[in-house]
Amino acid sequence: MLDQEQVKARVSELLRDSHLKQLLSDELRALQADRPDELDRDRFNTCVAIQLVRELQRELLADETWQDNERSDQSGCTPGETEFDRILDGLMVAVQHDLLVSHLQMVRVLGGAIAARDTGTSEHNARVTIYATRLGELCELTTERMQALIKGAFLHDIGKIGIRDNILLKHTGLTEPERRIMQSHPEMGARLLKGIPWLEDALDGVRHHHERWDGTGYPDHLCG
C-alpha cells in the first residue's frame, strides 16, 4: 500500500486539467478526506491513465526522434519504449490499489517479453496505445471500454511470442506458408490471454487488431 501523502502529491501533479478535475471530483474528495474506501478505483485509475498518456503524447509529438523508427539510444531502448515505461511508472505511483499495481507490473512483463523477441515492438506498442487512447476519447468511450482499449492496445502483439524466430525476425520477404504463420499471431495472442480475468476485456482488441473496414483483414474478416 502506498503512503497516502505520496498518492495525493502525485495526483495533484497530474490533475492540472480542469476537465479531469471535474470528472474526478468525488474521487478527489474521498482522497482528501482520507476515505479511500469511497474511491471509485476503476474510474479514478482510468482517468489518471488517460492524463498520463496525454502528457506523453504532447512530449513525443514534439520530439522528432519519435518519428524515426530506426533510431535508438545506446541502451538499445527506443524513445517510445523509454517514455512508455515512464507512463507505467507514473501509474503505479498514482494509484493505491495493490491489485491494479500488480496488473500494471504484469503488463510490463508481457510487453517486455514481446520486445525481447522483436526489438521494434515496444515503440510500436507505445505508439498504438497513444493513438488508440486518443481515438477512444474522441469516441467518448465509457470507463470500462477505455480500460479494455488501453490494455488491448498495449498487448495487441502478444501473440508474436509464439512465432518462431526464423519467421518473426526474417529480413527478406515471407513465403506464403510463413505469412500464414505470421498472420496467426492475433489468434495466438487471444488464446494466451484467455482465462486471465482482468484481461478478458482486452481479448477482442488483441484478436481483431488486423481486421479491416472492407473485410480483407484477418483472422475473422470482420467488416464495417
Residues marked as catalytic: 160
1-6 long-range Cβ contacts below 8 angstroms, 24+ apart:
1/96, 1/98, 2/93, 2/95, 2/96, 4/31, 4/34, 4/36, 4/96, 6/93
Instruction: Give the whole-angstrom CA distance, residue 193 versus residue 191.
Output: 5
Of 71, 171, 79, residue with least CA distance to 127 = 79
